[in-house]
Structure 1
Amino acid sequence: MSTSARMLRLLSLLQTHRFWTGGELADRLEVSDRTLRRDVDRLRDLGYDVDAVRGAAGGYQLRAGGALPPLLLEDEEAVAIAVGLRTAANGGVPGFEDTTLQALTKVIALMPPRLRRRMAALQSQTEGLPWSGGPVLDPAVLTTLAQACRDDEVVTFAYTAADGTASTRRVEPHRLVNLGRRWYLAAYDRDRQDWRSFRVDRVAEVPATSGQRFRPREIPGGDAVTYVRRGLSTQPQRHLVRVRMVAPAADVAAYMDRWGTVDDLGDGTCRMTLNTDTLDWPVLILANFDCDFEVEQPAELGELLGRLSARIAASASPS
């Protein structure tokens, strides 16, 4: 490895801002401790603040703050970022398409030619349909709420409930929870003196920061995901779906993720239960498993599956 390539590799490792022992860095770079010290001195000459601790347990760490050094990424890291941005630009998070497309363009432009060729191959050889139908998020609202959660700052915002009722909420934000295509804020509502979960796509008029700090409370259920899921399960939905399936409970539960419950009935069978506004999702779940099943409720699901089955059978029959 040339000296310049080794320096870039060293800077890339230090940019994780973790503490590296001298031995760890020397092993990663395949150099002696003496060469490592010289490389660290070269970085300092270039203006990078590298803290060093002497002794048997000594090591190096890039100092936080100050001037931001150039961002260095491993090849796999750069491609991972570009793929993630492309997914978001394709509607992975509704409301972020334009912003992520701009970011993706900048990231690809900064890539060396060999990585740009890899991304061009990925783009030209991949096909898919954009996501659609999810609620649209305001990037500024999402990031402001995330910062308030991180900094334990009280936040006030306008909120529109499912029935269209508008209100102003003053909360202690705890965590953001992403469930499928929807984002929720788990927070303690100061006016109602109780915990609440808020759909982020229904939040508006969030000031940048309030500056008012609070002491974090313990959320019911132990964590934000459990709290939000529990609240969703108790909300009235249009359909309560129960289906007995001849399939391993663990497989069905893994596919459903957080959207319902699966009870193991033994002998390789289980019961899927979920609340839903539409029957599209249970149909997709059942279509994913090559197994026998029995719709226990609602009757509308059985009727829908019957119509779909008839149409599929008619389409598959030779003319």
Structure 2
Amino acid sequence: MDPSVRLLRLLSLLPSRPWWPGQDLAVRLGVSPRTLRRDMNRLRELGYPVRATGGQAGGYAVGAGGRLPPLLLDDEEAVATTLGLQLAATSAVAGIESAAVAALAKLVQVLPSRRRERVQALQETTVQVPAPPQPTVDPAVLTLLATACRRIEGVRFSYTDHRGRASTREVAPHQIVRSAGRWYLVAMDRGRQEWRTFRIDRITQPALTNQHHRLADPPDAAAMVLSATKLAIRRYEARILLHLEYETAARSFHGQIVEPTPDGRAILRVGADDLPSLAAYATGLSYDFEVLGPPELRVEVHRRAQDVAARHALPVDPSPDRS
């Protein structure tokens, strides 16, 4: 193999693993360990940060920093990168659209002619149906929240809810979820001591608190966002008081929206497009409950209970009273 070609091959292999045993890498390239060491020295001379350990179990890894290697993409990787950049160009993250378009243009310029043709064909023949405009997210806010989730470090921020009410929140972040073109943060609200979802486009002035948390039994973030967004698009939202301790209710209705009450019980929030469906759900609960709202749901549950009672009334004994 030509030494220049071998160096390019080496550059494509090194980042694919955190650590390469020297023997494995030499076998993959079809060279001796001595030739491999020379190639590694050559990469260092070119400015690539290659780390090495000696001995029988020695190996190599790419260190932090240094110049970027040449762009080495196979056909599938080129298509995947193109699709990712095209999607990024229509994302709801403010300012990322122009960066994605610029990166896509650079990608096309440096690809070999055969791969460039495939990528350009994908660009030129793909038409995207315009989607309804979504609120944009500040990339700096998104990055800070992602960092906080990774470190499980507390965050303090200003938040404006759907009614326009502003408040200051301090949370222990769990995960970021993207759903239907919007970005959400799932976190434990330290002030309210409950899991909440926050639309990231409504978060401003976030700051790390330097306090690290241990998240006990975190919820399924995607399921929690899905439940919250379902409520947002449903015609009716029920608020059902469960005669259960909040901790028991949170476990029993894992993934649904459960809120604590001042006396330690729980309120379950459920959405539906029609009242009979909500009434059927409520009357099917295996716990004592009370419908707090909406008022028309209380009427529907009462009517349903009367119908059930009438259909299952005990028969009247027709025999005359002989006393």
If the length of structure 2 is used for normalisation, what is the TM-score?
0.64
Could you tell me how far apart the structure 1 residues matched to 2:48 and 2:93 are?
A: 39
Could you tell me how far apart the structure 2 residues matched to 1:119 and 1:236 are?
A: 38
C-alpha displacement at 1:94, in angstroms? 5.8
Q: Relative to structure 1, is the Cα distance of residues 151 and 160 closer, same or farther in structure 2, using a 3 angstrom cutoff?
A: same
CA contact (8 A) 1:177 1:183 kept: yes
Q: Paired residue for 1:183?
A: 183
AA in 1 matched with 2:153: E
Correspondence for 1:237 among 228, 234, 237: 234
Q: Paired residue for 1:77?
A: 77
Task: Give the SS at the match of 1:185.
Answer: strand
Q: Relative to structure 1, is the Cα distance of residues 25 and 132 closer, same or farther in structure 2, using a 3 angstrom cutoff?
A: farther
> Percent of aligned positions with the same letter in both sequences?
46
Q: Paired residue for 1:268?
A: none
C-alpha displacement at 1:158, in angstroms? 2.1
CA contact (8 A) 1:11 1:72 kept: no
If the length of structure 1 is used for normalisation, what is the TM-score?
0.64
C-alpha displacement at 1:239, in angstroms? 5.4
Could you tell me how far apart the structure 1 residues matched to 2:132 and 2:86 are?
A: 15
Q: Relative to structure 1, is the Cα distance of residues 179 and 115 closer, same or farther in structure 2, using a 3 angstrom cutoff?
A: same
Could you tell me how far apart the structure 2 residues matched to 1:277 and 1:70 are?
A: 55
Q: Paired residue for 1:11?
A: 11
AA in 2 matched with 1:214: H
Q: Relative to structure 1, is the Cα distance of residues 224 and 105 closer, same or farther in structure 2, using a 3 angstrom cutoff?
A: same
C-alpha displacement at 1:200, in angstroms? 1.5
Q: Write out per-residue CA displacement over residues 140-189 of structure 1, whole angstroms, 9 at most, x where no aligned residue.
A: 22222112212333222221212222222222222101223222101122
1:224 aligns with 2:234: no
Could you tell me how far apart the structure 1 residues matched to 2:272 and 2:26 are?
A: 56
Could you tell me how far apart the structure 2 residues matched to 1:131 and 1:216 are?
A: 39
C-alpha displacement at 1:7, in angstroms? 0.2
Q: Paired residue for 1:215?
A: 213
Q: Paired residue for 1:67?
A: 66
Q: Relative to structure 1, is the Cα distance of residues 192 and 86 closer, same or farther in structure 2, using a 3 angstrom cutoff?
A: same
Instruction: Within 5 Å, give how 1:14-163 maps onto structure 2.
Output: 14-16=14-16, 18-63=18-63, 65-70=64-69, 72-75=71-74, 76-89=76-89, 91-93=90-92, 95=94, 96-163=96-163
CA RMSD of aligned residues (A): 3.2
Could you tell me how far apart the structure 1 residues matched to 2:273 and 2:100 are?
A: 30
Q: How many residues align?
A: 242
- Unaligned segments of structure 2, at least 5 residues: 238-254, 256-269, 275-323
CA contact (8 A) 1:92 1:131 kept: no
CA contact (8 A) 1:151 1:213 kept: no
Instruction: Within 5 Å, give how 1:149-298 maps onto structure 2.
Output: 149-206=149-206, 209-210=207-208, 212-221=210-219, 223-232=220-229, 237-238=234-235, 275=271
Q: Relative to structure 1, is the Cα distance of residues 211 and 203 closer, same or farther in structure 2, using a 3 angstrom cutoff?
A: closer
CA contact (8 A) 2:189 2:195 kept: yes
Could you tell me how far apart the structure 2 residues matched to 1:211 and 1:71 are?
A: 39
